[in-house]
Structure 1
Amino acid sequence: MAAKPSSVVEAWLTHLAIERGVSANTLSNYSRDLRRYLDYLESLGREDLSAVTPQDLEGYLRALRAGDPQKGLRPLAASSSGRALVVVRGLHKFALAEGLIPVDVAAEVSPPKTARDLPDTLRIDEVARLIDSIPVDDAATPQDLRDAALVEFLYATGVRVSECTGLMLDSLPEIRDGLVRIVGKGNKARVVPVGSKAIEAVDRYVVRGRPALAAGKSHALFLNQRGGALSRQSVWQVLKNRAEGAGIRQEISPHTLRHSFATHLMEGGANVRVVQELLGHSSVTTTQIYTHVTADNLRQVWATSHPRA
């Protein structure tokens, strides 16, 4: 019985959603990568997943790196094409487990080697400047109070933007107690400390700002101007506007604050395992990129301080 690639994709995505509890955002990303893979297999005339060869997959990687301007497909960096291969490997592994193919050829193909870039971060003084540039006095608007709370919370906790926008108002008692339960990737929950500055900012927003934004539409903690839950795209725009207002030239995103959170913890002496837990990384290998940042910082201090540098 032929294992039609599109049918296997549909079955795997259903399995991930129902059996594994994979988030809607992750499923959307997987679907995008798999559509590109299906188009590639179709161009080769592969109508059965068991007919795919390791050479086909190596060609797929080359196609990802090259892109296709006629189809509006931009070239992917080694890291992005590697992640796309991981998705394809998952598909083939599922097909093998289900008895749909006799061998997993994707397991034989290695992802392209990537140069490990250090994450973009802000200095501690830049974070302070960003926060201090947002008005919170009596003349502050509801949006000002929301944005101040948002920036404080993102930097204080290091949560992903989707985790932040997914917070509900009933999380407020936890935040006020200095610990908040975050549901991350794969529906994995973790408990993250919340500092006094962030608690103060969130309280100020909830008391003085949120009621003016609320329209009875949403129980989300962070609201947009129409009373609905603040979207991830809106958070990006908030940070972009606030960074410009603070005179910060580099482009920042929610991930910039997440990276800054982790980097500043490591530079302050935090254990990599603790940072791994706070970030919600499943593997410490992912977190270890921040040890490189710390090592660079140590080298800079040594170079400017040691008499024989």
Structure 2
Amino acid sequence: MAGTVDDAIARYLDHLTVERGSATNTVASYRRDLLRYNTFLAGRGVTTMSEVTEDDVRAFLVALRRGDPERGVPGLADSSVARTLVAARGFHKFCAAEGLTATDVAHSVRPPKPPRRLPKSLPIDDVLAILDAAGAVDGPRGLRDRALVELLYSCGARISEVTSLDLDDLDLEHRAVVLRGKGGKERIVPVGGPAIEAVDAYLVRGRPALVKKSTPALFLNIRGGRLSRQSAWQVLVDAAERAGVDKEVSPHTLRHSFATHLLDGGADVRVVQELLGHSSVTTTQVYTLVTVNTMREVYATSHPRAR
């Protein structure tokens, strides 16, 4: 049953990748967090799984929050502490289930509950300005950028979902697209008219000028390869800057805006859940708090007897 911590972590990461089908970014995040954990354990002289105790896990939690004052290393924010400890807890749960350890020593160690932050969304006018600015670049790149940003907002998609799209994932006739979310889970999402027009223009006049060799990728970079997540992110940031939107804008900002605007328009929260690809409606319900807050602000400033 005893084995090294290194070997156990490698088995767990393989389990996440092969058996659970976790997204590449998720596995990379777990790998970083568990490397930190392994380094901490090694510093305490713990190198085998049979040596790890609940006290070690609790000491790791304290170390994450405190940092290393002597070296000027600050402690992590509660949200980062929680994420790192979740990785360690998942690892120990796996080890106990697989018989690598006799018990789950992390079972009773709870991560700090981060404060609930409301998603930031943009007013519709700002979104429209960004969409227009995305297509302001002349030539194939402008057509690509407009289609990319239109799809992000029209579908409420994650940036990785849009950059991983292939030509066959689009159904322009029925105005729909197949998105692959976390864990490879697929969902079919409707696409609005302006986004369909932008994608069609890109496919007819933009993509043929960018493609260098046969590739199924929908969005291409200037070398003819698949557009990277980082480059697509920069497309949006540049468009927001050209549009004069001084708020922080990211692909997730458009996703938040998509959800908030749907709910403001009367959409059912469970429909929005399906469109966003959330596994639980609880995740989606945070957006209802945004709309409630907006209603309160409007009421407070508009109703003659509000105060």
Instruction: Answer whether TM exceeds 0.5 for this pair.
Output: yes
SS at match of 2:224: coil
Q: 1:286 aligns with which of 283, 286, 295?
A: 283
Shift of 1:67: 3.7
Q: How does 1:164-243 map to 2 (within 5 A)?
A: 164-172=162-170, 174-216=171-213, 218-243=215-240
1:124 paired residue number:
124
| 2:160 equivalent in structure 1 | 162
Q: Does 1:260 align with 2:257?
A: yes
The CA deviation at 1:268 is 1.4
CA contact under 8 A between 1:89 and 1:107: conserved in structure 2? yes
Alignment pair present for 1:153 and 2:151: yes
Kindly state the Cα deviation for residue 71 of structure 1 after the two structures are TM-superposed: 8.5
Task: Out of 50-59 and 123-132, give the one that drifted further.
Answer: 50-59
The percent of aligned pairs where both chains have the same amino acid is 56
CA distance in 2, matches of 1:73, 1:236: 30
Q: Cα–Cα, structure 1 residues 12 and 120, in superposed 2: closer, same or farther, change >3 Å?
A: same
Q: Contact 2:134 / 2:235 at 8 angstroms: preserved in 1?
A: no
Distance in 1 of aligned mates of 2:72 and 2:262 = 41
Aligned residues: 306
1:85 corresponding residue in structure 2 = 85
Q: Cα offset for 1:248?
A: 0.8
| Paired residue type of 1:150 | L
What is the aligned partner in structure 2 of residue 44 from structure 1? 44
Equivalent position SS for 1:105: coil
Closer, same or farther in 2 for the Cα pair 1:50/1:286, shift >3 Å? Answer: farther
Q: Aligned in 2, Cα 1:222/1:27: closer, same or farther, shift over 3 Å?
A: same
Cα RMSD, aligned residues only: 1.9
Counterpart CA distance in 1 for 2:67 and 2:264 is: 39
| Structure 2, unpaired ranges of 5+ | none
- Does the 8 Å contact 1:50/1:103 carry over to 2? no
What is residue 102 of structure 1 aligned with on the other side? 102
The answer on whether the counterparts of 2:210 and 2:222 sit within 8 Å (CA) in structure 1 is: yes
Q: CA deviation at 1:133?
A: 2.3
Cα distance in 1 for partners of 2:34, 2:73 equals: 14
After TM superposition, what 4+ stretches of structure 1 lie above 6 angstroms from structure 2?
Answer: 69-74
| Alignment deviations for residues 19-38 of structure 1 (CA, whole Å, 9 cap, x no partner) | 22222222111111111111
Provide the C-alpha distance between the structure 1 equivalents of 2:74 and 2:147, rounded to a whole number of angstroms: 37
Question: Once the 2 structures are TM-superposed, how far is the Cα of residue 219 of structure 1 from its aligned partner?
Answer: 2.0
Structure 1 residues without counterparts, runs of 5 or longer:
none
Q: Deviations over 1:253-309 (max 9, x none)?
A: 111111111111111121221111111111222112111101101101211222211
> What residue number does 2:4 align with?
4
Alpha-carbon distance in structure 2 between the residues aligned to 1:57 and 1:36:
12
Contact 1:176 / 1:199 at 8 angstroms: preserved in 2? no
Deviation (angstroms), 1:74: 6.2
Instruction: Identify if the C-alpha distance between structure 1 residues 69 and 218 changes in structure 2 by more than 3 Å, giving closer, same or farther.
Output: farther
CA change 1:44–1:253 in 2 (3 A) is same
Question: Structure 1 CA distance, aligned partners of 2:238 and 2:16?
Answer: 37
When residues 71 and 167 of structure 1 are mapped into structure 2, their CA distance, relative to the original with a 3 A threshold, is farther
Residues 160 and 75 of structure 1, relative CA distance in 2, 3 Å threshold: farther
SS of the residue corresponding to residue 106 of structure 1 reads coil
Q: Distance in 2 between matches of 1:74 and 1:268?
A: 43
Instruction: Give the TM-score of the pair, scaled to structure 1.
Output: 0.93
Which residue of structure 2 lines up, in the alignment, with residue 307 of structure 1? 304
Give the Cα–Cα distance (whole angstroms) in 1 for the partners of residues 25 and 113 of structure 2: 26
